[in-house]
Structure 1
Amino acid sequence: MLCRTVSLGLCVIVVGALSAAQQNAAPLLDKMAKSYASATALRVRSTIVVEQQLGDAKAKQTVRHDAVFQRPNRLRVRWMENQQGGLSVTCDGKTMFTQVDALRQVKKETAPKTLQAVVRGDRKQLPAVDALSCFLGEGWRAKVQTAKVVGSETVGGRSVTRIALTLKDGVQQTLWLDKDGRIWRSRRVIRRAHPGGGTMTVTVDETFQEMTLNPRLSASDFRYTLPKGYQQVAEFQAPQQSPPTPRQ
């Protein structure tokens, strides 16, 4: 009876500790959501490392991300891979330009009226918890099944709290938040069955060099100039391939 009582007591202590950890995560996550949602503008710079694994096959991609968002519908976002060019979107509030460096083409269109429409399109929200989703007013509670504080450490010289999330779609995510609820690192691990058999694991690890709420901005921050040698198009066009050279 004593052993059973001790075991039951230990179980209660463990469950209580886990519940307390989850409860302790909520105030900081609430502070995170509130600080981003109440901001009028957001500037971020980050490095995103995407790793994919299927069996013994592995692939890794590193992308630099630089973005500025301002309500109601201004933004400038650029993704660049290994200094090889990439993709950028600029919206000055009236016109939106999408630039694809690989095609050397720029699509020009009328700007949507809200950042939500620019970023999400017809989708209501994405399942992940990140700075942009919070800035757009997407609540973390609607996406998260469990959340708990799992430690404290340093990211980029800043003291941060590490919070482990299990999202409602089963994805595991970890956030590193400072005392003000700002995100300095985010890591997601996505596991899905592969059509060809086995499990595909995708890890998305983003570390931020800058995370500024309400930066000082002007119209010039969202001004777009067509690069030399680029073509402005209504719709993106596949590059034309040269006809094969006839054999002699």
Structure 2
Amino acid sequence: MTAGRCQQDAAALLDKMTKGFAAANALRLRSSIVVEQQMGDARAKQTVQHEAIFQRPNLLRVRWIEDSGKGLMVICDGRHLFTQVDALQQVKKEPAPKSLQQIVRGERPSSPVVDPLSCFLGEGWREKVESAKGAGTEKLRGRQVTKVALTLKGGTQQTLWLDADGRPWRTQRTLKRSHPGGGTMTVTVDETFQEVTLNPQLPKTAFRYTVPKGYRQVSEFGAPKSAPKSSR
């Protein structure tokens, strides 16, 4: 296959992906995220389980779970935004922003990555990508996928594994960062999706939130209070 044909096929799949997600009213994701950091001979690796539901205009329930079983959860029920930090056993409550874009991105216009969430938020891939080309086909968890290699603006390399409908089932990014102490750190973020569902049927309680027992609601996060010492 010629280079031009590979680029055309890659662009067609990326267009299908962005249009399909942007047209959906709700999105449900489940994935495993592996983050590897390397600087010289030093390496560090972390695995996080990710579960998320998004519904327009401003409903979401997102959870990141670490190996310890603890992590971070963000819920917006349409009226309030809750951020739950398990390590602190604290929950921050704020007024709900009016759109998912405001919740996820804040003041930033977009994120330098092409993934299900960025497409759902209406961020186009062409504004972020310098080059895109097909890199062959393979089986991923029994599913036929096409590898699409991207060079993002700024130099980040990203690979997407897309099925024929333009749904991504894996995404991998490699970033180079300057370390404050000198040298360059390489960070690889590899996300494999177990579920990518557009317009899922959601229960009415999908975005309901109750502060867990033992957790404290705060206006700003702070160090957890230690138990008082017993007098002798």
In the TM superposition, 1:166-245 aligns within 5 A as 166-240=151-225
- Superposed, which structure 2 residues align to 1:47-62 within 5 Å? 47-62=32-47
Q: Once the two structures are superposed, what CA deviation does each residue of 1:107-150 show, in whole Å capped at 9, x if it has no partner?
A: 11111000000111111110100100000000000000000000
1:66-105 map, 5 Å: 66-105=51-90
- Counterpart CA distance in 1 for 2:14 and 2:179 is 33
Matched, 1:119 2:119: no
Quick check: 124-133 or 218-227, which moved more?
A: 218-227
* Gapped regions of structure 1 (runs ≥ 5): 1-15
* 1:49 CA drift (Å): 0.1
Deviation by residue 1:33-69 (Cα, 9 ceiling, x = unmatched) = 0000000000000000000000000000000000000
Question: For residues 59-111 of structure 1, what are the alpha-carbon distances to aligned partners after superposition, in whole Å with 9 as ceiling and x for unaligned?
Answer: 00000000000000000000000143000001111111110000000011111
Query: Where do 5+ consecutive residues of structure 2 fail to align?
Result: none
TM-score by length of 1: 0.89
CA contact (8 A) 1:92 1:219 kept: no
Matched, 1:32 2:33: no
Deviations along 1:126-183, whole A, 9 cap, x unmatched?
Answer: 0100100000000000000000000101112111000000001100000000000001
Higher mean displacement: 87-96 or 57-66:
87-96
Q: Distance in 2 between matches of 1:202 and 1:27?
A: 29
Larger Rg: 1
CA distance in 2 between counterparts of 1:49 and 1:102 reads: 20
The aligned length equals: 230
> Shift of residue 234 of structure 1?
1.2
In 2: Cα distance, 1:42 partner to 1:242 partner: 42
Q: 1:176·1:185 contact (CA, 8 Å) conserved in 2?
A: yes
Residue 6 (structure 1) aligns with: none
The one-letter code sitting in structure 2 at the alignment partner of 1:165 is L
Partner in structure 2 of residue 5 of structure 1? none
- Partners of 2:226 and 2:179 in 1: CA distance: 33
Which amino acid in the other structure matches residue 61 of structure 2? Answer: R
Q: Distance in 2 between matches of 1:185 and 1:83?
A: 24
- Distance in 1 between residues matched to 2:228 and 2:40, nearest whole Å: 39
- Mapped partners of 2:57, 2:98: distance in 1: 7
TM-score (norm 2): 0.95
Structure (1/2) with the larger helix percentage: 1
Residues 17-28 of structure 1 aligned to structure 2 (within 5 Å): 17-28=2-13
SS class of match (2:205): helix
Cross-structure match for 1:141: 126
C-alpha distance in 2 between matches for 1:31 and 1:78:
27
Structure 2: which amino acid aligns with 1:197?
Answer: G
* Cα pair 2:89 2:224 within 8 Å, conserved: no
How far is 1:200 from its partner? 0.7
Once the two structures are TM-superposed, the CA of residue 27 in structure 1 deviates from its matched residue by 0.6
Which amino acid is 1:66 matched to? Answer: E
Letter matched to residue 155 of structure 2 = G
Q: CA RMSD, aligned part only?
A: 1.7
Structure 1, 184-193 or 206-215: larger mean CA deviation: 184-193
Distance (Å, rounded) in 1 between the aligned partners of 2:203 and 2:97: 20
